[in-house]
Structure 1
Amino acid sequence: MLRIRVLGSLGADDEGRPVGLGAPRQRAVLALLIAARGTVVPVDRIADALWRGAPPNRATVSLHTYVSHLRRSLEPGRPPRTPATVLVTSPPGYALR
């Protein structure tokens, strides 16, 4: 079972094994989704938060990479090209289920 800790340092474990959550901006994406409590967070709102209102031209590409890496970390046993069940894409953005 996946468990995400938000009190103290942000962390996660899956069946008792630590989950690597990546670089600071990648962890910030996870924190934003946790704070949204299961609702969809639009891509532009995530980008504005990550880059403090001045996202670079390729912000959506970077954001997609962060989400991809988080998905691999949060669902390590998910077969390739199968839909994610934890960090999902839902227009106009992403949600944590």
Structure 2
Amino acid sequence: MSEARAGGFTLNDHQWNRLAQLGGNVAALHRQMTKDDSLENVPSLGTLHRVARLLSSSGLALGALLGGWLASALGLQPPFLVAGTLFAAATVISLLALPHFRARE
């Protein structure tokens, strides 16, 4: 079920998980939501794209803020080391989770 708020639409945890399983393909998620008879209010494809883009890109501003703070406090090298470490950790976690997502299909 989708969570409705005044004047808008948000994705619930199940829909975010399904979007991740679909590799971020919002159009495929929209097709599945349209086929699902238990959903009363299916948003338009454009609305679904806007919600996913807004919520998934909110981390960019936080990363820029923290990276700028780290660079001003410790110099230019530490933000790159931290970003590289986080990217490597995310890659390892994604590779370890891949069999779990494939098993659900």
- Whose strand proportion is higher, 1 or 2? 1
- Whose helix proportion is higher, 1 or 2? 2
TM superposition score normalised by structure 1: 0.34
Q: Which has the higher contact order (CA 8 A, sep 6+)?
A: 1
TM superposition score normalised by structure 2: 0.32
Q: Which has the larger radius of gyration?
A: 2
